[in-house]
Amino acid sequence: MDAVDVSEHYEVTTAEETPSLLSIILDANPRAWAALSDVLPMSRAIANILVFVNAHLAFSNSNQVALIGAHLDRAVWLYPSPPKPKSKTGADASGDVPMQDVPAAAAPSSSANKYPHFAQIETAVLSSVRSLVDNTTEADLATTTTQLSGALTLALCHINKAAQALCSPVANLEDSRKANASDAPPTVRGRILVISVSDSEPSQYIPTMNAVFAAAHAQVVIDTLSLSGDPTFLQQACFNTGGTFLAATHPQGLLTYLMFGLMADSEAREALIAPTHDTVDFRAACFCHGRVVDTGFVCSICLSIFCELPPGAECLTCGTKLALGNYGAKPAVLPRKKKKKRRIVNGNGREETGSATGTPRP
């Protein structure tokens, strides 16, 4: 029939888009933002981040976003905001605390000039940041450590929960094994963007690296935009997860870095040339004093790193007796092999042989 009526029939199939979940971790260190206030105030930075969030959501109706604040002594949700607990525990019958997009008290006023979803996110983020700043005390300012590891853990848990919510129930065990296979397409493309303004804290090395390895195992990309400071551990996080690390030389152009360097997700980057970082600082923090060291002693059992030999040559983590072997000994110098002398015979150089006369010529 196709040849008779000269028509072409196509088999139409529908394919759902894989949602992209962007989790933004904002370094809310007050000391770092105070030092950066002349170049980029925190209020202007949040306004630029909200524009970036709106652009991410405008790409697809299925895209999602989450914002987490990494403070001095805690990691808090900026969006979605947890509701006020109605009971003492604040959990339902299953023990889970429900989340909502925006608190009822902070509901935005209706405006025809602003998309309602964008207005909800803006109201929730500004309300959460204002509450975070108001609850910061002088005792909190005595601590200089940013809880980056806690924020990474919250982001990974949120991505995993979103992926589990989108999974369809499997019929049998064989289908569940196929769904959990490594080559199965992901139900959600999750990635984490860290906006850093402070240095990496050596005491946060172990929990941060644990979160990075978990992200690499879950195929979650970690991107970093460093406005100031030297985030050594975040460079390693971007390298291990295949993310992008950008060090902003002009922090006032925050929106430009976000829109042109960090807008594309992991799937779109396969068709683009993503910015790369030339050098990566692979230094680690020792387990004994928390110092960032270039060389040290490594336990062969638990891979713990020590800047100096532990007391009694015993690993402080697993208790294994460390055997140093010939550590500190001078390297052995092997004598050079004597080369055979070459003598000239009839104007030609030839290797010396054991015969007294030369080789007869025809």
pLDDT tens for the chain, residues 1 to 362: 555 555 555 554 545 678 899 999 999 999 899 999 999 999 999 999 999 999 999 998 889 999 999 998 889 999 997 766 655 555 555 566 666 555 554 555 556 778 889 999 999 999 999 999 888 888 777 767 788 999 999 999 999 999 888 775 544 444 445 545 545 556 788 999 999 998 888 878 888 999 999 999 999 999 999 999 888 889 999 999 999 999 999 999 999 999 999 999 888 888 888 787 777 878 888 888 777 888 888 888 877 888 888 877 888 878 888 777 666 667 667 777 777 766 666 656 555 555 556 666 66
- Residue 24, strand partner residues: 67, 193
Residue whose structure tokens are 């088999």: 11
Task: Indicate if 233 and 291 belong to the same structural domain.
Answer: no
Task: Indicate if 142 and 31 belong to the same structural domain.
Answer: yes
Question: In the chain, which ranges are continuous DSSP H helix?
Answer: 2-5, 30-35, 42-59, 116-134, 138-141, 148-166, 173-179, 205-217, 232-241, 254-261
Give the phi and the psi of residue 202 in degrees, each rounded to 5.
-60, -30
Whether residue 6 lies inside any domain: the answer is no
Distance CA 10, CA 14 (A): 13
Give the phi and the psi of residue 58 in degrees, each rounded to 5.
-75, -15
Task: Indicate if 266 and 304 belong to the same structural domain.
Answer: no
Task: Indicate if 201 and 302 belong to the same structural domain.
Answer: no
Residue whose structure tokens are 């209706």: 110
What are the structure tokens assigned to 101, written together?
């997009």
Task: Indicate if 194 and 243 belong to the same structural domain.
Answer: yes
Task: Indicate if 121 and 255 belong to the same structural domain.
Answer: yes
Distance CA 322, CA 299 (A): 7
Q: What pLDDT, on a 0 to 100 scale, did the predictor assign at position 245?
A: 93
Question: What angle, 0 to 180 degrees and rounded to 10, lies between the N-to-C axes of helices 232-241 and 205-217?
Answer: 10
Q: Supply the range of the domain harboring residue 44.
A: 20-84+97-166+186-281
Task: Indicate if 287 and 204 belong to the same structural domain.
Answer: no
Preceding peptide of 207 cis, ω within 30°: no
Q: Which of 316, 238, 315, 247 is nearest to 282 (CA)?
A: 238
Domain termination site, one of 281, 311, 346: 281
Whether residue 215 lies inside any domain: the answer is yes
CATH value at residue 72: 3.40.50.410
Whether residue 126 lies inside any domain: the answer is yes
Task: Indicate if 145 and 231 belong to the same structural domain.
Answer: yes
Task: Indicate if 319 and 231 belong to the same structural domain.
Answer: no
Distance CA 300, CA 126 (A): 49
What are the structure tokens assigned to 38, written together?
């002349």
Distance CA 92, CA 196 (A): 35
pTM reported for the whole predicted model: 0.74
- Residue 348, strand partner residues: 345
Task: Indicate if 208 and 291 belong to the same structural domain.
Answer: no
Distance CA 234, CA 246 (A): 10
Q: What pLDDT, on a 0 to 100 scale, did the predictor assign at position 97?
A: 62
Whether residue 305 lies inside any domain: the answer is yes
Task: Indicate if 255 and 301 belong to the same structural domain.
Answer: no
- What is the tally of structural domains in the chain? 2
Q: What pLDDT, on a 0 to 100 scale, did the predictor assign at position 101?
A: 57
Amino acid, res. 90? G
Whether residue 1 lies inside any domain: the answer is no
